Amino acid sequence: MAHSDLLGRHRAVLPPWVPLFYEDPLEIESGSGRTVRGADGRDYLDFYAGVAVNILGYDVPEIREAAERTLRKGVVHSSTFYLIREQIELAERIADVSGIDDPVVFFTTSGSEAVETALLLATQYRQSRQVIALRYAYHGRSFGALSVTGDRAWQSQGLSPLRVAHARSGDKRNGGMAGLDDAAYVRACAQDLQEMIATSTPERTAAMLVEPIQGVAGAVPLVPGQLRAYADVLREQDILLIADEVQTGWGRTGRYWGYQWHGVTPDLLVFAKGVGSGFPLGGVVGRRDVMTSLPGASLSTFGGNALSCAVAAATLDYVDKHDLPTHALRMGALLREELAGKLTDPSVGEVRGAGLLMAIEYVHPLTREPDAARARHVQEECRRLGLLVGLGGAFRNCLRIMPPLTVTAPEVRQAAGIIAAASGSVQVRGDSSAAPSKSLD
Ligand code: PMP
């Protein structure tokens, strides 16, 4: 069969550390709105959106028109040695919405490369290779981005070009802090950061890198006040705050940027994923003094090419015209409400996140320990019932839910019904502590 043949060819020619979802992996052939068609001939409601990338959904006329307009010019790529009108216009626009004072923008082709750029700039600016990140963080697959990642499943090696210390995330249940109320937890976190800076890092620290809501970790939000408290500690020591908005950007959490939930403004902001509607685009927007601090020349050959930038401009037009951040907030609230009413299964530990960046955590009903096998089975069952969701979490026990921001109320209700049916109907056979599978990032 053509499909099993494709899986065999994938296994033969691609490395085994590129994980696939599902026991019978899926090839997506086409899509429209929030529905994709698989090579298995079935239609699926897509609540994963290519890992939070396809924020407008599929087959969007405005996106096709922007791409075709650029292709018709006959030149897709010229390199940054030439002026690129689409890039300059997009940079102006991202500078405007960044919330950062007098910012400068640099474009890359991926989130990892954007994180790498922010780390390069911060370490150069502060003349220090000491960086602080959060436990459970995911920041990408390149050398520097990998070394700040605080999730062992994605931490392939410990040979880091940076010195990295990991501060506490928003997950207060682990590490002996369970039971503290929010205010006490925030105080403890800030004191811990102070102590870390004073004792276990060199005199200067370059930056702290933070996802305002941790995506790969399973939509783990920071505790209210936590980022504000961290930012206060950083400011005292002139340490830069970098927001990794690769998953949280462009309205997904119900605000344009995830940092806006926290009453802080970062010095540098890293973006990627949704802005390009599937065309590879990432970048950094940040304080002019930091962004201009590189003494040598630097470029990204493909970064900000005309095609990706034209599509990104059309994407942002659509986000603004339809006020997708507000829509995401409403649809996220509806999904939560629907799930609260329907998800009565005792294996559901927590439903969390903000806007349309959400996760459902599965636990063993009696011990409340993470149950990765159940999450995996629920994901399979959702597929069987016609819904695509992701899998992840620090303990691989979360369904990750990140539909296109254009999702409608009937689609949200339909998805909630499927998730509830899948959760309730799943009988986990055998040892449910079997080796966890990785989420796709
Ligand atoms: N930062 C965050 C928060 C991410 O979620 C990801 C990817 N999931 C990255 C960085 C890396 O982006 P990319 O895969 O485009 O390199």
Domain architecture of the chain: domains with CATH: 2-60+323-429 (3.90.1150.10), 64-321 (3.40.640.10)
Q: What is the largest CA-CA distance in the chain?
A: 63
**How remote is the CA of residue 271 from the centroid of ligand 1, in Å?**
9
Q: What is the pLDDT of residue 152?
A: 80
Atom 13 in ligand 1: residue holding the nearest Cα: 111
| Per-residue pLDDT tens digits for 126-173 | 999 999 999 999 999 988 898 888 888 877 666 778 999 999 999 988
Write out the DSSP string of 255-293: SSSGGGGTT---SEEEE-GGGGTTS--EEEEEEHHHHT-
Atom 12 in ligand 1: residue holding the nearest Cα: 111
| Per-residue pLDDT tens digits for 287-307 | 999 999 999 999 999 999 999
**How remote is the CA of residue 139 from the centroid of ligand 1, in Å?**
5
Amino acid at 18: V
| Per-residue pLDDT tens digits for 378-422 | 999 999 999 999 999 999 999 999 999 999 999 999 999 999 999
Q: What is the pLDDT of residue 425?
A: 63
**How remote is the CA of residue 31 from the centroid of ligand 1, in Å?**
23
Amino acid at 365: P
pLDDT (average), residues 176-196: 93
**How remote is the CA of residue 402 from the centroid of ligand 1, in Å?**
14
pLDDT (average), residues 39-49: 97
**How remote is the CA of residue 236 from the centroid of ligand 1, in Å?**
29
- Token couple for 35: 């529905």
CA distances from 402 to 108, 167, 279, 292, 323 (A): 23, 26, 18, 35, 17
Q: Tell me what the pLDDT averaged over the chain comes to.
A: 93
- 276 in ligand 1 pocket by Cβ < 6 Å? no
Taking the CA of residue 115 as reference, the ligand 1 atom at the shortest distance is 10
Count how many residues are written for the chain. 441
- 117 in ligand 1 pocket by Cβ < 6 Å? no
Q: What is the pLDDT of residue 155?
A: 73
Q: Which secondary structure element, helix H or strand E, spans residue 241, and what is its range?
A: strand 240-244
Burial 228-247 (b: 16+ CB within 10 A, else e): ebbbebbeeeebbbbbbbbb
**How remote is the CA of residue 111 from the centroid of ligand 1, in Å?**
5
Atom 7 in ligand 1: residue holding the nearest Cα: 441
Distance CA 147, CA 169 (A): 17
- 247 in ligand 1 pocket by Cβ < 6 Å? yes
**How remote is the CA of residue 112 from the centroid of ligand 1, in Å?**
6
Angle between helices 324-342 and 409-425 (to 10 degrees): 30
- Token couple for 381: 């069952």
Confidence class for position 433, pLDDT limits 50, 70, 90: very low
**How remote is the CA of residue 113 from the centroid of ligand 1, in Å?**
9
Q: What is the pLDDT of residue 434?
A: 34
Q: Which residue has the higher pLDDT, 59 or 159?
A: 59
Q: What is the pLDDT of residue 174?
A: 75
User: pTM of the full predicted structure?
Assistant: 0.95
Amino acid at 232: D
User: At 14, is the secondary structure helix, strand, or coil?
Assistant: coil
Q: Output Rg (C-alpha) for the chain, integer angstroms.
A: 21
Q: Which of 53, 112, 220, 302 to mutate to test the pocket of ligand 1 (most atoms within 8 A of CB)?
A: 112
Atom 1 in ligand 1: residue holding the nearest Cα: 139
Do 286 and 103 form a contact (C-beta atoms < 8 A)?
A: yes
**How remote is the CA of residue 176 from the centroid of ligand 1, in Å?**
29
- Token couple for 99: 């919330």
Q: What is the pLDDT of residue 179?
A: 84
Atom 10 in ligand 1: residue holding the nearest Cα: 139
Do 365 and 346 form a contact (C-beta atoms < 8 A)?
A: yes
Q: Which residue has the higher pLDDT, 151 or 341?
A: 341
Give percent above pLDDT 90 in the chain.
Answer: 87
Distance CA 226, CA 188 (A): 10
Q: Which of 17, 138, 257, 402 to mutate to test the pocket of ligand 1 (most atoms within 8 A of CB)?
A: 138
Q: What is the pLDDT of residue 439?
A: 42
- 287 in ligand 1 pocket by Cβ < 6 Å? no
Point out the least confidently predicted range of 30-39, 97-106, 168-177, 200-209.
168-177
- 246 in ligand 1 pocket by Cβ < 6 Å? yes
Q: What is the pLDDT of residue 203?
A: 86
